[in-house]
Amino acid sequence: MSKLAKLLQRPEPLVMGILNTTPDSFSDGGQFVDKASAEARVKSMIEAGAEIIDIGGESTRPGATEVSVQQELDRVLPMIECAKQNDAIVSVDTSKAEVMQEALKLEVDLINDVRSFTAPGALKVVSSSDVHICIMHMQGEPRTMQQNPQYDNVVTEVQEALIKRIAECEEKGISKNRIIIDPGFGFGKTLEHNCQLMKQLESFRIIDCPLLVGVSRKTMIGQILDKDIAERGLGSVVAATYAALNGAKILRVHDVEETVQAMRIINAFQ
């Protein structure tokens, strides 16, 4: 069994620390573009208790500039090597089949694709390996998804879409025990949609795949608290804690140390 599969059997949620290597990343503001500081960031997240490091080289922000395959590889591969050297479980946040392919050569543990492996060749690349994959729900595409998100019932529609995607993955030979699901907070969703998903997070249990939740510093936190990105840390930790208490298995966060502390507290009570 893989290292990640073993960890997923534990009852306690896992903290996934976000390493963004893009200069236009909305919350790290280009702080972690050079290799030395990215390395320091990887190390400090591990020290703070992150069990997975999520490495991304392309911003999904609406209107973000597109990144070439080579550019993304240049950003991501050295960071994968660094995280691997530090014994982390490594996740790569990418939508490009070529990047997935190269990441797999470095034996990453998880491929996290906000586009759910819809790019040409992506599903094929992951199906010919034994890597774990995270499939995320998104309505529309990053550039325009927040213009007018609409659902009759956001919870059942997101669940149905994930169930359909799991079936498509299984058809391509990816067994369900390799799949992690994510409702995709903020990806083609209004605040109201995000809140409904959070309120009914427990109901995702019926899909029977580990649930990943990413709300860290997102607009929804800013809307609820009326705070800028720099001031969304506490709200993000509380939202992640709520998610953990309602079935989330992996918490994708910027504020690793604080989230790990929150998990230690709730674990002590379980």
d(CA 10, CA 5): 9
CB of 254 to ligand 7PM, least distance (A): 8
The helix/strand/coil state of 88 is coil
Active site residues: 218, 252
Residues in the interface with ligand 7PM (CB under 6 A) total: 18
If the CB atoms of residues 181 and 270 are measured against ligand 7PM, the closer one turns out to be 181
CB of 185 to ligand 7PM, least distance (A): 5
Site string for ligand 7PM, 57-96 (x = CB under 6 A): --xxx-------------------------------x---
Q: Which of residues 192-231 bind ligand 7PM (CB under 6 A)?
A: 212, 214, 218
**Phi and psi at residue 256, in whole multiples of 5°?**
-65, -50
185 touches ligand 7PM (CB under 6 A): yes
CB of 165 to ligand 7PM, least distance (A): 13
Nearest residue by C-beta to ligand 7PM?
214
Selection from 46, 13, 31, 16 nearest residue 229 by Cα: 31
- Please give the distance of CA 126 from its chain centroid, rounded to a whole number: 17
d(CA 34, CA 222): 28
Q: Which of 52, 82, 100, 136 binds ligand 7PM (CB under 6 A)?
A: 136
Q: Which residues contact 140 (CB under 8 A, 6 or more apart)?
A: 147, 149, 188
249 touches ligand 7PM (CB under 6 A): no
d(CA 119, CA 113): 10
Selection from 219, 249, 247 nearest residue 235 by Cα: 219
Rounded (10°) CA dihedral 227, 41, 212, 22 = 70
Choose the stretch contacting ligand 7PM; rule: CB under 6 A; options: 151-159, 181-189, 196-204, 229-237: 181-189
Binding interface with ligand 7PM (CB under 6 A): 18, 25-26, 59-61, 93, 112, 114, 134, 136, 182, 184-185, 212, 214, 218, 252
